[in-house]
Structure formats: structure tokens, C-alpha cells
Structure 1
């Protein structure tokens, strides 16, 4: 049964400007005045001004204060927002209040959403430094993998809040994930009266599943992006996505680092020999019931460990949807696929031949070293030409699972295979459908990745076979065992895996 909105709320005048400040939950202790940005703390029926909050940065989120929705049959209203930053970027925590006054958080990071509820441990919470990224630990008798351990700080806040860390002061935040897709966050900021870290447990959600109303009017979004001149050639460059950390110049193909903002001294890297994507940047297409826009493209090369002569390549398109965030469309020799970084932590032990995720087993298909060789467009992480990862690909029928590993991060992605004709239709390129055919329909589809030497050997064998068939076709069937003529076809795609690229989510 869906609950009604809270019928009782506490309201008092802001000690800074006198405007009304409202508290809908008894658990809320802080608020930011919408008129003068004063930070106020509630002590019983008294409000005290303790400072002034920094201005919010515009992240073009579809969410806003007073938006309402339903989670697990319970109605909620968004009443507050916290904006955080860490070394790899920024993210937002939306504070939600249920009809009974209890609270929750809806985390938003690059279009990925996690809904969490307050929780507790059956033991004392260890210090942040005891959690090593990649390690496994038991939380309430359930195994969790340590996904991140970051120093974060508050950038800004808005509305009613249950706690408020000091503005700009770093503190630890640890995130753990389970094989069932659960996310456990440990907030070591000065959050609780007891001095203990605040804990919340939840899982990934889709905005459409929350039945939200009162979302930000898309027409109110400022469509003009940030514009500056390319530091290499001087041509105008426009950044359309607020979260972009890298972009390429359309004139000279240079990669421009945006991680320190467009007002800082921009760094760039020149790229020679540009690659022309099969699907143009800016194109929109309908996939998985949503409209996606191509905002980024990269070509990557893979090498079998210990064998630099064997190599294969593939393309990755970074797709963006306002409510679903980012996903990857991968074009490899063995077919097309669509994959997205996962919230949970699949179970995999070094040396094993399979991984387990959400109760399903995925046999290992291959391991290889990957390198980014060309990029174009915008990216939500600081992409770089020459960026290297160690990848493992797993598959269970048409379901795919991928692991990418660097020296500081392990990222998992999951997805599924797509038919090339479906991709062509989705992006209104049906007239070029032949260019989207891949080796999953070809006679040689069993060879998932073939290096240059292997390809040459296969070609020679085919030529020998054709020569024999040609000789046979000139024979007399009355005296020789002749066969009918045959033909072979090859695919124009590149060899490679189906892994999504770098850029983890909190």
C-alpha cells in the first residue's frame, strides 16, 4: 500500500534572512535556506545559522527537490541534495523522505542510480584504512568486495538534510559490493551523534522503475554547452555534457583534458591517422526501449599475453540517455554487443575458468591486454590514447560479462549480444546494413580472435581449397569424384572483445 506524504512538518524562520525553512523528517538536523544559502542546524524548536553554503554546480540531472516516487511500495519525496567530489569526479546524493518520516538516499553518478536505506553492522565498524580495494570481507555474514576507498569532500548542498559534513573538508568513504548486486556505503564523515560512521545498504535502480513525478523540465535545461578554443589548433570546441572529463577537437583530432575545467591551462595530445566511426558522433538510436545518443568513440587493440604478434581490434561507442546514463555499444569481429558497468561484484578467483554473477555462471572466453589507440567525442572519465588495461571476457549464451583491471581499479560490465541488422536499424542506417554484418554469422565464427599470422594461414588454406575445387570443376564426372563449386565470405569487422571501457561508478 502506497503511503501518503507526511502530514506534519516543522517550519521556522531562517536566522539569516527570515524566509521559511521546513523540516519534513524528525531525522533531519540541517537545512540550506533556498533564499540566502544559509546553513542552519536544528536544535529542538530552534534554528541556528552556522555558515553559508557554496552554490550548486549544474549537473543537468533530471531530478530536483520535491520530486516524488515509489520504492518497494512506499512513496517518497526528495527533500535534499548533497554534491560530493573525489579524485575521479563528482556525484550527488539525493535525500528522500518516506511517508512515515523515515529516510533514504538516491545516489546519482554519471547517470547511474543506487537507492539505499540506513543499516547497521553486527560488529564495530573498522577504520577506513583497513579496507583494501579488491579484497573480500564479511558484512553481517555475507561476503562483500571492496569496490572503492576514497577521500571525498562536500562541494555543496541544498534543502533538508540528516547530516552535513564540513564544506571542503576531506573524509573517507568506503563502498562495498556483493555478488547479489547490493551496495554498502560507509560514510566516515562527521555524520552521527555517536561519532560512528553512517551506513547505508541498497542496490541499483532505474528512474522509470521509481515512478517519479515532478522531474526537472527538460526544456528548462540550458542547451548551450561550454565553449573554448582548442589549445592545439585554435578551433572552437563545445562541451555538451557537464560531467565530461575529456573531449576531442573535431578539427585536429587532439584529445583535450577537461579534468581541471575549461578555465584551467588545458592539456592536449595530438592524434594522427583518425579513425572514421561507422556510426557518426551525435547520432541517435533506439535500443533497449530508450533513445541513445552517440557521444564518444574509441578504437582499442588487444594482445594475447606473451604474444605481441597476435593482435585484434574493436570499436566502442559511448552512448548517453538522460535517465539511464551511459552505456557502451561494442563492435567486434564476433558480433555487436551492448554492455554497462555493473553495480554488484561478480565472484571470480584468479586462475578460475568462470565467474558467477546474480546466480549465473559465465565461462571464461579469453584474457588479453587492451590498449586504447584512438578516441573521438566526449567521455565522463579522463580518457587517454595509450591507456592500458588487462581484460577478461566471459559469456553465457548471449549474456556477456567483462572485467577490466588497472593498477588501482577493477571494473565489471555486463550486457548482451546484438544482431548487426538491429543496430543498423536502430541508428537509421538500414541502407548500410551490409556493413554491420559480423563474423557471428560467418563460417569462421568459431575463431573468436585471430591474429594476423592466423588470418594469413587461413587465407592460404582457402586459396589452396579453391584451387583444388577449381581443378575438380574441370574434371569428367564419369571418371573422377567431382564436387560442386562453393564460395566463402569474410566479415569486414575488427577482432576483439566485448568489454566496456574504463570509468568506474561509485
Structure 2
């Protein structure tokens, strides 16, 4: 039976037949010439040509059908691939899902193991804030939709696409956007476009991909990327990539060459300083941490200067599979923390207090955290010297960490874990507190050991003299993930 919403005409670019299946579709990518064809009241207009699709694995292939929550039929009617306008090279994609029975639609996207669904909603009576007034971490009030936290502000470009779409996408044109979050997994995007038309507001929430069941009977699971081996463009070393579909930057574990990943190959950027110590958890080590199968894929050392003194801590990037995404392990002076990334709406910061899941966490410290050393593969373009404002709030069961720049903010919860548990998880020998704490400063050597022994003897002598007051605590620790891209 013919769909009553079918509208057919010739592509204005190549003459091939164009059929619009969904009544809400405003444009379509021609299968024959890759031009975006916009539908107007009178005719079709070609507005720009899409590049070839980037090979990003997805279970939501064009034309796939299924049921949402086991009830409402849906169709994968299109997808677009986007990239940041200022730092291209790590595209992501969003799927246009239509519901034939109701005439409704939504966008479905995934990022770092999380899936999101958003739909266009009416602009609140009070309007939307100008993009120039937005800063990451600030809260905005959207009338009947409540209060939201700004997670990221930037510009992006549509680079490729296929099928239908609910709005006209002009390939290659920079458009402004702001990603926002609210409690209970709510997520949204303010699309400011290129400034020629009013902004659009898309709201929704984080979803379990299991809500989409394909008619083939298979659930929609996150795509599983195969481990890919690439060669370092400098030394030729073999570098296995655990997340080739998400990796943006690779720093060679052998020679320190930093490279960007493009179309399955590495493009050399320049050498990075080698870490002064080997990471306690070797790159490529697999383990089972808190019932999560993880693999260590990256290692960084970051530092901050407080009152003229330099403090350092170490971070291990773990990949926990396509559903959970990335985790971090932090270590400073032998104390370890598991770092769980949070959605921006899960934390509300007001003054010197951060509220997370109904509990209050008090301000502890805020420092400028800088990357000093890096090796492995990362989901953003990490580089030595990269800096963020890292703020820590302390409370029951751990710490809330907020890391931000004017453009982006990341939230995380840091839960203490023992070195013994980490060692058991990866089948390693647990390090001593001194080995773990002194390594990043380059003190894990014989001379350093002698100095520590002398200091201990001196302190014991002072204690024996009875002249010591009650001293303060140790160094600076910011429990939060290295700053990275949100998409």
C-alpha cells in the first residue's frame, strides 16, 4: 500500500527520483548525487553536497524497523554525521527515528557509552539565552522545562548524511550549539544554527538502547569495535587500538610521538615528553574492577602549582566496554580512586556546595590542572600543557569533581579504592605507598629512598623531643577525569 505521505519529484541536482516517505521530513540526501535536497511548498531545492559517510559502526542502519519499548513501531529514516568546527577529526553521528503511526520523530545519538533521545519542543515564552552569554557550568531557566546546566558550548558542521531529516542541514556550514543537562538523565541541545534563522530547542533524556528492539528480534546494542593495530608513523611500533571508532589522539608508548587517527591511520603531530616512570597498570592490561571488565588504554600525569610548590597525580584511562564507556583511576601518594563520569544534570553546584543524588559535598579546593605527560590512546585531542579549572567537593563516600573551560564542563564522582584491590583486579603486585606516590616526581630511585629515610629519622627525632605540634595534611589531589570531548 502506498504511504499517504509519499511525495516524489526529480532531484534538482541530478534528476534522479526523490521520494519523501515521512510527512515531517524537511530535507533528504539524494542517493545518487549526495546533494541535500530541501522540500519547499512548491518544489525541491539543492542546498549543498554531503561528503562520503565516515565508517562509524552503528546497529541503527538506514531503513531498519523495530518497536520502541516493545510497542510503538519505528523506522530509521536517516542519519547525519557531524564534527566540531574548531577542531575537526572526530566525527559523531545522530539517527533520525520516525514513528509512522503517530507522525512523531526523534534524534537518537550515542557518546562515550551513553545513548540519548531528543525531540524538538516549543521555545519557552521567555525565549532562549543568546549563545554569546552561555558558559559551561552555568544554569539556565527554560520556563516550563525547568532549570538546566550548560555542559558544552561550541560550533559544529554537518559533514555527511543519508536518508531524510527533519530540518535542512547545509553541509560544511558552522552552526552554534549548546548541550544542556538536567536531573534524572534529562539531556538537550539548543541549536543556534548559522544565525540566519531562529534557534531550535531539542529536549529528551538518556536512554537504555534496549528500548529499541529491531524487527529482526535483536536488541539494539552499542556497536562493538574490533581492536585495530596501527603503526606509529615515527618509529613503526605496533600500537593496538582498543577503541578505534572513538579514539582521537594516540601517543606512542615506545617513542612518544603524538598522532591523530584519521581513516584508520596515524598522522604524526610531534613528539611528547615521555613519562618519567612506567605506569603501575601497564597499557593493554585487562582486569575485572567492581564487576566491570576493563582494559587500561591511557596514562597521564597532571600537576598544579600551589604557593610555589608543584603537586602531581597520576591518571589511568580504562575502557569498560561499549555500554559503560570510559572510567578513570586516579592515584596520588598511594591513595587510589575510581572515577565515575556523570551526566551534567546529576550535579548541582551552588556557592561552596555541590549536591549529588541528594547528598551535599563541601568545597575543598580549586586549582589549575595541567597535563605534563601522556601516553596511550584517548577520546579527545589531549596534549601536554592542556589546562582546566578543577574543583573538588568532599563529602560522604567520596568526592565530586568539576573540571571546566569556558566551552565545556565534565562532572565525575570519585570513590576510594585500595591499591590492593586494583592490583588484584589486574593480576599485579600491589605497589608500596612510596613507590606509587613518588614516581611521578621522578623520585623512585636510590637517592630518593635515602632522602626519605633521612627525613623519617629526623621526624622521629623531633617526635622524641616532644616539640612537634599537630601538623597539617599532605598534597593536592583533584579527583576528576582529564578534560575531554563530550561527543
Match of 2:339? 338
**Alpha-carbon offset, residue 398 of structure 1:** 2.6
Return closer, same or farther for 1:69/1:307 CA change in 2, 3 Å cut-off.
Answer: farther
**What is residue 313 of structure 2 aligned with on the other side?**
313
The question of whether the paired residues in 2 share the 8 Å contact of 1:372 and 1:385 is answered with yes
CA distance 1:466–1:282, shift in 2 (3 Å): same
The separation in 2 between residues aligned to 1:126 and 1:319, in whole angstroms, is 37
Equivalent residue, structure 2, for 1:128: 131
Match of 1:138 in 2: 141
**Length, aligned pairs only:** 448
Q: Shift of residue 34 of structure 1? A: 4.2
Q: TM-score, normalised by structure 1?
A: 0.73
Q: More deviation in 152-161 or 85-94?
A: 85-94
Bigger CA radius of gyration: 1
Aligned CA distance change for structure 1 residues 96 and 269 (closer, same or farther; 3 Å): same
Residues 419-477 of structure 1 deviation map (CA, whole Å, 9 limit, x = unaligned): 545444443x1x63x449999xxxxxxxxxxxx9xx98994587459989xxxxxxxxx
Aligned residues: CA RMSD: 4.2
- In structure 1, the gaps of 5 or more residues are 1-5, 440-451, 469-493
**Structure 2 equivalent of residue 100 of structure 1:** 102
- Alignment partner for residue 167 of structure 1, among 162, 168, 171? 171
Change (3 A) 1:168 1:369: closer
Whole-angstrom CA distance in 2 between matches of 1:185 and 1:251: 41
User: 1:133 & 1:328 partners in 2: Cα distance?
Assistant: 22
- For residues 143 and 118 of structure 1, the distance between their equivalents in structure 2, rounded to whole angstroms, comes to 17
User: Structure 1 pair 208/325, CA: closer, same or farther in 2 (3 Å)?
Assistant: farther
Q: Secondary structure at the match of 2:132?
A: helix
Structure 2 counterpart of 1:487: none
**Contact 2:327–2:338 at 8 Å: present in 1 too?**
no
1:178 aligns with 2:179: no
Residue 39 of structure 1 and its aligned partner are, at CA, apart by 3.2
Asked if 2 retains the 8 angstrom alpha-carbon contact of 1:301 and 1:373, the reply is yes
- Whole-angstrom CA distance in 1 between matches of 2:278 and 2:297: 14
Cα 1:222–1:298 change in 2 (3 A) is closer
- Which among 78, 90, 97 is matched to residue 80 of structure 1? 78
Change (3 A) 1:328 1:272: closer
How far apart are the structure 1 equivalents of 2:345 and 2:222? 32
- Distance change (3 Å), C-alpha of 1:143 and 1:20: closer
What TM-score results when the alignment is normalised by the length of structure 2? 0.76
Q: Verify: 1:64 aligned to 2:61, yes or no.
A: yes
Q: Unmatched 5+ residue regions in structure 2? A: 436-448, 466-474
Task: Summarize the Cα distance change of 1:414–1:234 in structure 2 as closer, same or farther, 3 Å threshold.
Answer: same
Distance 1:67 1:464 in 2: 76
Structure 1 Cα separation of the partners of residues 316 and 232 of structure 2: 27
The residue correspondences of 1:103-502 to structure 2 (distance < 5 A) are: 103-120=105-122, 121-140=124-143, 142-178=146-182, 181-189=185-193, 195-208=197-210, 213=218, 215=220, 224=228, 227=231, 229-230=233-234, 233=235, 235=237, 241-254=244-257, 256-258=258-260, 266-287=268-289, 290-303=292-305, 305-308=306-309, 311-332=311-332, 333-344=334-345, 346-350=347-351, 352=352, 354-406=353-405, 408-427=407-426, 429=427, 432=429, 434-435=430-431, 459-460=456-457, 463=460, 496-502=477-483
List per-residue Cα deviations over 1:42-72 (Å, max 9, x = no partner): 4579766655422111233454332646369
- Deviation track 1:260-290 (CA, whole Å, cap 9, x = no partner) reads 8898973213324543222222233344655
In 1, the alpha carbon distance for the partners of 2:206 and 2:132 equals 26
3-state DSSP class of the match of 1:322? helix
